[in-house]
Amino acid sequence: MMLGSDVSNLSTTAATAAARGLSIIVPVYNEAAGLVALHQRLCELARTLRQRHGLSCEVVYVDDGSEDSTLAIARSLPADSIDLQVVSLSRNFGKEAALMAGLDYARRGAVMFMDGDGQHPPALIEQLVKHWIEDGYDVVYTAKANRDNESFPRRLAVHGFYALINWGARQKIPQDAGDFRLLSPRAVAALRQLPERNRFFKGLASWIGFRQIRVDYEPAPRAHGVTTFNTAHLLGLSIEGLTSFSVAPLRLASLLGVILAGGAFLFGLSILLEVLTTGKQVPGYPSLVVGLMTIGGVQLIMIGIVGEYIGKILSELKARPIYFVAEHSEKHFEADKTPSVDERTAAE
């Protein structure tokens, strides 16, 4: 029985790239104010990619239970130079579920993930496409060039997160890498075959392997509103990523237990030596209470960590759908039959 999967028939070449095209997946949540401007930029990008690379494009907007007019605006967007799909989820399932919904509905060969807040510049997509078509990379991911505009505690927390999640991992997640990335047809095929429901796309896109390259960029400022990813959301996403993709918290809990057990052993040994050498017993109430409180706190932390993993196992065993689609619509771009300048020149 073959336990792996062969995706070698989906090779990365310019011919297959042009034939299969590119799906741009954009999860949106309360992005009504900037959605029209973003769509116009994507339409301009689609024209450029068609002219320079012969690449047909589609955009898949996944409305993750928006509470404003995002869905109504998405329905009204024109299929100008680009095919358009609008997938509306029944409620807010979270970004990872929205990305999965977009991946399920994407109909082109390669896939591009990007945010809908305008901070991922569409102009950079052409550079990512070149790395795919011309250089043969299967995963082209972007990362923040620097975090100079962020506070020191946030930078320290980000560094600690990547250090913890990559601790002992065979396939490490690049630091500062985001969801803004391009995957070739065979990378998409590999990603679709991963069966888990608790997904962490940054980790999974690195885990599948293939040829990968990093592209640094400076995120653009938000064109409207404020981010919905506050500290609580980021902390929750970090915990979700750690427990879905890494066993590092369990290893940390085990290491902490070993350290405390070693400390308790040395403390007991010092008391024994003092009794044997001086004949005096150390009053035990303060040290006993502190020791019990320390051990009790550590045990509760360990139980919480184990509980997170048991919750993930329960979620996988229940096998509930990752999302529900309440509405799906699509529009198709009718290409102009007039030959392009290059085609007319070649004919002459």
* Angle between helix 125-133 and 32-53 (nearest 10): 40
Note whether 17 and 110 are within 8 A (CB): yes
What number is the average pLDDT over the span 276-285? Answer: 65
| Separation CA 6–CA 20 (nearest Å) | 19
What residues are paired with 327 via a beta bridge? Answer: 88
297-311 confidence digits (pLDDT tens): 777 777 777 777 777
pLDDT exceeds cutoff 50 at 43: yes
pLDDT exceeds cutoff 50 at 344: no
Note whether 32 and 223 are within 8 A (CB): no
Structure tokens at 102: 């977009």
Between these two residues, 141 and 14, which has the higher pLDDT value?
Answer: 141
| Separation CA 134–CA 129 (nearest Å) | 8
What number is the average pLDDT over the span 154-179? Answer: 72
Distance of CA 191 to the CA centre of its chain: 12
| Separation CA 305–CA 97 (nearest Å) | 23
pLDDT exceeds cutoff 50 at 256: yes
Q: How confident is the model at residue 25 (pLDDT cuts 50, 70, 90)?
A: very high
Q: How confident is the model at residue 61 (pLDDT cuts 50, 70, 90)?
A: very high
Percent of the chain with pLDDT over 70: 70
103-140 confidence digits (pLDDT tens): 889 888 889 998 887 778 887 888 888 888 888 888 88
Q: Whole-prediction pTM value?
A: 0.71
Rounded to a whole number, what is the distance in angstroms from the first to the last CA of the chain? 57
Say what the pLDDT of residue 159 is: 73
**Closest listed residue to residue 171, CA positions, set 197, 144, 190, 157:** 190
Say what the pLDDT of residue 16 is: 56
Q: Which amino acid appears at position 74 of this protein?
A: A
Note whether 105 and 329 are within 8 A (CB): no
